[in-house]
């Protein structure tokens, strides 16, 4: 009987060890990316402060976790951006997902795992190159404020891979964010007023 229970304990330990290895493997993405570290970096870095839209709750604005990391709301009508004067540099929407400034109007991206409207079809290389280059998809238009590109460029490749691995595990939320708007061109200067007409020369005196 004693040998039987020793065998049971041994088998249980083997199963527990195998389960632990499986959990550790699941926590690692491709190339050794650490999903748990990615989650820590995303949450600690405040990515959701902009990428998760705010909604009005009983105590004021609060993150809408049903739309976690899905960016600016598709179809949300926005009035023209307010004009501000220096030293004010810009304005932002109550959702924290639309920002205006000298660059125009930018809308915070959908970074969920949705394949059509998020980053679900992105590769790890594309994500890393986008951060390193500061350009959409690593080769397109500049990534605009409020995205803290200079700060993210200080992260290691392993950190970026871990962030990407975590984002790929997030719920896919279909939400097509609009393209950014360019700065409003300054109105053309009004035409110069015509020169005042010169008074006619006085007649010459009679001789």
Q: Is residue 19 part of a domain?
A: no
Residue 39: inside a domain, yes or no?
yes
Q: Is 17 a member of any domain?
A: no
**Whole-number pLDDT of residue 60:** 92
High-pLDDT (> 90) share of the chain, % = 63
- Per DSSP, 150 falls in state H
Global pTM value: 0.73
Mean pLDDT (the chain) is 83
pLDDT of residue 95: 96
Per-range mean pLDDT, top range of 5-19, 37-51, 178-192 = 37-51
Contact predicate 74/175, CB 8 Å: yes
From the list 108, 91, 109, the residue with the least C-alpha distance to 100 is: 91
Looking at the domain assignment, is residue 8 inside a domain? no
Q: Residue 126 is part of which domain span?
A: 33-167
Q: Does a cis peptide bond (omega within 30 degrees of 0) precede residue 40?
A: no
The region that residue 102 occupies, defined by phi over 0 for left and psi between -120 and 50 for alpha, beta otherwise, is: alpha
Residue 86 lies in a domain: yes
Is residue 104 in some structural domain? Answer: yes
Give the model's pLDDT for residue 11: 36
Number of domain units in the chain: 1
Quick one: pLDDT at residue 19?
37
What is the C-alpha separation between 144 and 142, in angstroms, rounded? 6
CB neighbours of residue 29 within 10 Å: 18
């Amino acid at each position: 009987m004693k040998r039987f229970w020793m065998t049971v304990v041994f088998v249980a330990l083997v199963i527990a060890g195998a389960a632990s290895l499986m959990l550790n493997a699941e926590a690692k993405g491709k190339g050794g990316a650490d999903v748990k570290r990615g989650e820590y970096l995303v949450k600690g870095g405040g990515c959701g402060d902009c990428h998760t839209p705010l909604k009005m709750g009983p105590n004021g604005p609060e993150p809408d976790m049903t739309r976690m990391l899905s960016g600016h709301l598709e179809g949300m009508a926005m009035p023209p951006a307010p004009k501000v004067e220096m030293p004010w540099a810009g304005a932002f929407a109550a959702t924290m997902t639309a920002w205006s400034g000298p660059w125009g109007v930018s809308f915070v991206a959908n970074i969920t795992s949705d394949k059509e409207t998020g980053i679900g079809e992105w590769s790890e290389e594309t994500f890393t190159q986008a951060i390193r280059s500061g350009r959409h998809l690593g080769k397109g238009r500049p990534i605009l404020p409020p995205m803290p590109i200079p700060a993210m460029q200080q992260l290691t490749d392993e950190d970026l891979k871990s962030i990407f691995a975590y984002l790929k595990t997030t719920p896919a939320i279909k939400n097509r964010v609009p393209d950014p708007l360019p700065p409003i061109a300054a109105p053309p200067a009004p035409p110069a007023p015509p020169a005042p007409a010169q008074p006619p020369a006085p007649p010459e005196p009679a001789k």
